[in-house]
């Protein structure tokens, strides 16, 4: 597994654990902070895959 896929997988795991703990264990509502966290993680995953494609096309040429 390359570094971009591993990074994306770890981000998904971290966000899932954060949401589960804050919602069920700490009994907090999902607010703007969690929504912004999801947007930031989604954008980071997008950039990871974009960089992966750029590296892959750079290695092929």
**Tokens standing for 40?**
């930031």
pLDDT score for 60: 66
pLDDT score for 61: 55
Q: For the chain, what percent of residues have pLDDT higher than 90?
A: 0
**Tokens standing for 17?**
């654990």
Mean pLDDT, rounded, of the chain: 81
Domain count within the chain: 1
DSSP 8-state assignment for residue 55: H
d(CA 6, CA 27): 30
pLDDT score for 59: 73
Q: Using one digit for the tens of pLDDT, what is the confidence trace for 28-50?
A: 777 787 788 888 888 888 888 88
**Containing structural domain, residue 11:** 3-60
């Amino acid at each position: 597994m390359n570094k971009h896929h591993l990074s994306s997988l770890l981000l998904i795991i971290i966000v899932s654990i954060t949401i589960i703990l804050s919602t069920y264990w700490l009994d907090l509502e999902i607010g703007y902070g969690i929504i912004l966290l999801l947007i930031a993680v989604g954008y980071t995953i997008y950039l990871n895959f974009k960089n992966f494609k750029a590296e892959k096309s750079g290695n092929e040429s």
